[in-house]
Amino acid sequence: MTEPDQPEISHAERDSALPVPLLYRDAMMLVIDKPAGLPSHRGPQAKRRVIPVLTDHLDALRFGLPRRPEAAHRLDKDTSGCLVLGRHPRAMAELNQMFREGRIDKTYWAVVEGHPDRDEGLIDLPLGKRAPDRGWWMKVDPEGLPSQTRFRVLGRAAGENGPLAWLALEPLTGRTHQLRVHCAASGWPMLGDEIYGSAPREGGPGLQLHARSISVPLYRKRAPVHVEAPPPSHMQAALQACGWLEAFETPNATP
Beta pairing partners, 111: 166
Q: How many whole angstroms separate alpha carbon 188 and alpha carbon 112? A: 6
Nearest to 175 by CA among 76, 96, 95: 76
Question: Exposed, middle or buried by CB within 10 Å (0-12, 13-18, 19+), for 134?
Answer: exposed
Pairing mode, if any, of strands 29-34 and 22-25?
Answer: antiparallel
CB neighbours of 55 closer than 8 A, spacing ≥ 6?
40, 41, 42
56 is an active site residue: no
| Distance from C-alpha of 192 to C-alpha of 201, rounded to nearest angstrom | 9
Closest CA to 254 of 224, 231, 229, 230: 224
Which among 76, 105, 117, 193 is annotated as catalytic? Answer: 76
The distance of Cα 235 from the centroid of its chain, to the nearest Å, equals 14
- The one-letter code for the residue type at 178 is Q
Indicate which residues carry an active-site annotation.
76
